[in-house]
Amino acid sequence: MKVLVLGCGEMGASAIEDLYKHGKFKDLTIATRSIKKVKKLLPKLKGRQINVSIHQIDIEDRKKLVSLMHSYDVAINCVGPNYKYEVKIAEAAIEAKVNLIDINDDYETTYKMLELDDRAKDAGIIIVMGLGASPGINNVFAKAASDQLDTVDEIHTAWVMSGADSGGLALSYHLLYSLSGKALTYQNKKMIEVESFVDGKERKEFLEPIGPMDVFHVGHPEPITLSRVFKTAKIVDDKATFHPPFINDLIRNLGKMVRDSSGPIRVKGNLIDHMDFAAAYFYKICKSLKKIPKEGALRVDVKGWRNGECKIITYTSSGMITSGTGTPASIGAQMFIDGYIKGKGVLAPEECVHWQEFIKTMVSREIGRLDIKMRDA
């Protein structure tokens, strides 16, 4: 069996590590823009011996990407930012007829990805969108909780991310692009527009060391995919915050600056793109944060009916963003090979992932803590 990992940034490296340690694959190929990062990572890998090969690639080179992809059983896309590359990589996977797992978290691309569903089915492949942390683990939690109810009324996903553990540069682009302005939330069976980090303020309890935090609506794919799948749900929202919360304002302000800008700015004779500047600035601020706990947390509450009683089932977990995102993608590739991810077309995790096997495997990786509760609504 052969697996291809695209991208070797923070999330890609974590997926590669997990594949190397636990993988079912005989051959692992890592294809990315800067192979220097791969060469630095490989000597640190421990686990079973697998054949590893490295390819330098620019995702924009479609022909090269398709010809590279076609000989693999499954590919994992950890390239970012997703608004730039997710659809391009999915189209290449369709052309190469290779199964694909990605960790997309940009809601803007989710509708475009769903439009590729027929083409993916015709190609006979599955494309699993957003199998990271959020989306990813949270979607699987939503499926797990909903399977323990007879009908589902409401799904509330939430997350807290530490500014001191803010991933690689691509994640900074994502935050400024997708979480700095409009967001979508599903209320009374209608998708409505709200403002990220402004609307929907609500206090939620997260696992220690996070504790209680005020979270807000954010621009994320969960309301889109979960409301499609759980048709009885009247409310589906995704709320989040950064720790410390001033990062929320930083995202909004820098994102607005990028949206309001017209063309690049000239600095000492060089033309600089506003987004390139803003993402680099945001990344630097986050990396300079000291004495902030690095752990983040996830929470899913599903409200519905069980044996005639109204219940709320809550899944909460905590851990680091890199292992919390790269590991699910790697587990996804392994579960696909083992037949625990089934289906054809473009699917969200809640539609195709065998949640019992996924949660069992996540727990066995010991990358965070998990708590599950049921209470009367």
Ligand X SMILES: NC(=O)c1ccc[n+]([C@@H]2O[C@H](COP(=O)([O-])OP(=O)(O)OC[C@H]3O[C@@H](n4cnc5c(N)ncnc54)[C@H](OP(=O)(O)O)[C@@H]3O)[C@@H](O)[C@H]2O)c1
Which residues here bind ligand X, judged by CB under 6 A?
Answer: 7-12, 32-34, 37, 57-60, 78-82, 103, 105, 130, 132-136, 167-171, 174, 321, 325
Give dist(CA 180, CA 182) in Å, integer.
Answer: 7
Where helices occur in 149-243 by DSSP H, the ranges are 169-178, 222-229
Distance between CA atoms of residues 55 and 31, nearest Å: 5
Nearer to ligand X, 163 or 304 (CB): 163
**Residue 165 beta carbon to ligand X: minimum distance, rounded to whole angstroms:** 10
Least distance between ligand X and beta carbon 55 (Å): 10
Nearer to ligand X, 197 or 311 (CB): 197
HSE-CB at 5 with a 13 A cutoff on CA atoms is 35
Euclidean distance between CA atoms 211 and 346, whole angstroms? 36
Give the integer Cα–Cα distance in Å for 258 and 275.
Answer: 6
Contact partners, residue 269, CB within 8 Å, separation at least 6? none
The helix, strand and coil proportions of the chain, stated in percent and rounded to the nearest 5, come to 40, 30, 30
Nearest to 225 by CA among 363, 102, 75: 102
Please give the structure tokens belonging to residue 359: 């949660």
Judge whether 157 and 142 are in contact, CB under 8 Å. Answer: yes
Nearer to ligand X, 149 or 160 (CB): 160
Nearest residue (CB) to ligand X, 8 versus 149: 8
User: Which residue, 133 or 312, is less far from ligand X as judged by CB?
Assistant: 133
For residue 200, the minimal CB distance to ligand X (Å) is 20
The least distance separating ligand X from the CB of residue 336, rounded to whole angstroms, comes to 17
Of 60 and 249, the one with the shorter C-beta distance to ligand X is 60
CA-based end-to-end distance of the chain: 47
The CA angle 19-22-23, to the nearest 5 degrees, is 50
Record the tokens describing residue 116, joined without a space.
Answer: 């590729």
**Residue 123 or 170 with smaller CB distance to ligand X:** 170
Which residue number, 12 or 319, has a Cβ lying nearer to ligand X? Answer: 12
Angle, alpha carbons 161-190-133 (nearest 5°): 25
Q: How far is the CB of 183 from ligand X (least distance, A)?
A: 15
Q: Where are any strands of DSSP class E within the chain?
A: 2-6, 27-32, 51-56, 74-77, 99-102, 126-128, 151-162, 182-187, 190-195, 202-206, 211-217, 235-243, 265-267, 270-272, 296-306, 309-319, 345-347, 368-376
Is the Cβ of residue 213 or residue 286 nearer to ligand X in the bound state? Answer: 286
Least gap, CB of 225 to ligand X (angstroms): 12
State the minimum distance, in angstroms, from the CB of residue 359 to ligand X: 16
61 and 36 Cβ atoms separated by less than 8 Å = no
Instruction: Provide, rounded to whole angstroms, the least separation between the CB of residue 61 and ligand X.
Output: 8
What is the smallest separation between the CB atom of 71 and ligand X, expressed in angstroms? 19
Residue 192: which of 214, 158, 224 has the closest Cα?
224
What's at 195, amino acid-wise? E
Residue (58 or 118) nearer to ligand X, CB: 58
CB of 306 to ligand X, least distance (A): 29
